[in-house]
Amino acid sequence: MNANKNYLNAADVSAYMGISIPMAYKIIRKLNDELRAQGFITVSGRINRRYFEHKVNGFKTA
């Protein structure tokens, strides 16, 4: 996964989480639904890297 990418695709999410591509698409769809509900514009099949990392790992407090 390229650290310079702002948006992740299903292959990136799959590799990051060690899951199948179809499951990665489901996760991307769910996260994009959350973003749309907050009024953000989304791109099908892609997820904002910062939002993804926040939802998967949470924010660091240190």
Residues 29-62 pLDDT 10s: 999 999 999 999 999 999 999 999 999 988 665 4
Q: Mean of the pLDDT values across residues 23-30?
A: 98
The tally of domains found in the chain comes to 1
- Of the candidates 16, 10, 5, the one whose C-alpha atom is nearest the C-alpha of residue 30 is 10
Q: Which structural domain, as residue segments, surrounds residue 50?
A: 7-57
Residue 16 inside a domain? The answer is: yes
CB 47 within 8 A of CB 7: yes
Residue 45 inside a domain? The answer is: yes
Structure confidence at residue 13 (pLDDT): 97
Residue 62 inside a domain? The answer is: no
The partner residues of 41 in beta bridges, in order of sequence, read none
Residue 52 inside a domain? The answer is: yes
Rounded distance between C-alpha atoms, residue 37 and residue 8, angstroms: 20
CB 31 within 8 A of CB 52: yes
Structure confidence at residue 41 (pLDDT): 95
Residue 1 inside a domain? The answer is: no
Residue 2 inside a domain? The answer is: no
Structure confidence at residue 19 (pLDDT): 97
The model carries a pTM of: 0.86
- In the predicted model, is pLDDT for residue 2 greater than 90? no
